[in-house]
Structure 1
Amino acid sequence: MTSINEKATTLLRLHKPGSPVTLPTVWDAWSANLAVTAGFQALTVGSHPVSDSIGKPDNEGITFFELLQRISQITSATDLPISVDIESGYGLEPARLIDGLVNAGAVGLNIEDVVHSEGGRLRDAQEHADVVGGLRQAADEAGVHVVINARTDLFLQQVGDDADRVDRAIARLQLAAQAGADVLYPVGRHNDSTQKRLTSELALPVNAIALPDQDDPASFGRLGVARISFGPFFQAALTAHSATLLGRWS
């Protein structure tokens, strides 16, 4: 069995701008095994699909304990590196988050800047960077280089004026990079010029979101992307296909 430090190192090394790694977004051992069988090198666990799978809403509708239960099931089913969307942190201290993830066998995390427990407010840029810094310190103290994917929802929430949103996203994510992030995630569906600007001006590998049933896998590399994930869209595509199958019998 691969050690947790080896998994963390492998996950970090997979992020290559221009030659992106695809981390399919899974939610349980079954979906994880689908991705393993398909030949992927690492996986990410999405909050929305996990919440859906246990009948609860996204945006911290589940507890961190419930999330860890599912992560343990996934890491027991596969030896691949696993990254986990921990939303905005469930109101917990960084050490608690890192210890929980590492003990469950995860070696990466996404951290959002929308605080769901406080009415969906957006953390200011330095506040979010401080959260990232706290997670990095806690991971260092745990002795595992947990791969931190710092996410901003500026585009998704359409916060502020369109005219300078890219500038503000870059400034926000640069602070997160300085605080100890490994990957930067300006979540949203971007046109090619915006995506190229993000990957060229940000100092770290950039995560992009893809529609697995519609996007061209080869289209992301030329835009400088280093990591591709699916958010809730893999589960949504399976849901649509399942509805077609089941509809023949209902």
Structure 2
Amino acid sequence: MHAQHKPLVLPTVWDAWSARTAVDAGFLALTIGSHPLADSRGAGDQEGQSFEEVLAAVRPIIAAVDVPVSVDLEAGYGQKPADLIAGLIEVGGVGLNIEDTVHSEGGRVRSTEEHASYVAGLRAAADDAGVPVWVNGRTDLFMHAQDASAVLDEAIGRLRALVEAGADSVYPVGIQDDDELLAAVTGAITVPVNSTAHPVRHDLDRFRRLGVGRISNGPLLQWALTDTVKDMLKPWTP
């Protein structure tokens, strides 16, 4: 799908209803986002749920649709790569997002070598299981930096290390509104580059021109829906 659709758009869903709605709209694959999933369950993002709780929550979402589903597994919830892959496969997931901010350990950021090693462990575990799990390797370096352009070289080096470790795509969070940074990253990386996109404020053709190969929404689809619902309900408030 990533080869056929450039970019491949995967709406970020959070429950069976949103998943079915996206599929009914014509989408061929989905992502489940940690932030919208947490919000829908009254939990906190940034590993505010346990791995077991996340698996229990995503199982019925995946079962509700007949398309491939990737799951945002944050920094791995303290799990070994093999256990993360085993749990994902058991609930029917075929892809995952893995980030380098370890919220369960005070929000520290993994080093390039540590994050690449974790991705390599995920790839090896998936290969051992005989399931071609799609690994989307995320970095939060841009988001943490006061000046995103100042960490461009470091971020590209980290993303390349993730590709070498077995990531199928990479996800530099926080630069979706910066044409120059997005183009620099896509021009330097050989696999699809994932970008966050707002379903109303952003434009698909722009992302295509910038070389983005994969699009997800993070919490922005849920937030856009929240704004719409508020507007609909406002005339009915006391």
TM-score normalized by structure 1? 0.91
User: What does residue range 100-179 of structure 1 map to in structure 2 within 5 Å?
Assistant: 100-158=87-145, 162-179=148-165
Match of 1:32 among 16, 19, 29: 19
Contact 1:16 1:227 survives alignment (8 Å): no
The 3-state SS of whatever aligns with 1:84 is strand
The aligned residue for residue 180 of structure 1 is 166
User: What does residue range 70-81 of structure 1 map to in structure 2 within 5 Å?
Assistant: 70-81=57-68
In structure 2, C-alpha distance between the alignment counterparts of 1:17 and 1:102, rounded to whole Å: 25
Q: Could you say what the CA RMSD is over the residues aligned between the two structures, in angstroms?
A: 1.4
The aligned residue for residue 197 of structure 2 is 210
Alpha-carbon distance change, 82 to 119 in structure 1, aligned in 2, over 3 angstroms: same
Match of 1:99 among 86, 90, 93: 86
Deviations 1:45-74 (A, max 9, x none): 000000000101100011111111122101
Which residues of structure 2 form unaligned runs of 5+?
A: none
Alpha-carbon distance change, 16 to 199 in structure 1, aligned in 2, over 3 angstroms: farther
The 3-state SS of whatever aligns with 2:145 is coil
In structure 1, C-alpha distance between the alignment counterparts of 2:55 and 2:64, rounded to whole Å: 14
1:226 aligns with 2:213: yes
In structure 1, C-alpha distance between the alignment counterparts of 2:38 and 2:199, rounded to whole Å: 20
Contact 1:183 1:207 survives alignment (8 Å): yes
Which residues of structure 1 form unaligned runs of 5+?
A: 1-13
Task: Please tell me the residue identity of whatever aligns with 2:115.
Answer: H
Alpha-carbon distance change, 118 to 58 in structure 1, aligned in 2, over 3 angstroms: same
Deviations 1:116-167 (A, max 9, x none): 01110000000000000010111011110100000000011116x6453110
In structure 2, C-alpha distance between the alignment counterparts of 1:221 and 1:244, rounded to whole Å: 31
**Cα displacement (A) at 1:79:** 1.0
1:86 aligns with 2:62: no
Contact 1:18 1:224 survives alignment (8 Å): no
Contact 2:149 2:181 survives alignment (8 Å): no
**Cα displacement (A) at 1:17:** 9.2
**Cα displacement (A) at 1:203:** 2.1
In structure 1, C-alpha distance between the alignment counterparts of 2:207 and 2:156, rounded to whole Å: 19
The 3-state SS of whatever aligns with 1:168 is helix
Task: Please tell me the residue identity of whatever aligns with 2:231.
Answer: T
Q: Structure 1 residues 32-41 or 209-218, which shifts more?
A: 209-218
The aligned residue for residue 67 of structure 1 is 54
Number of equivalences: 236
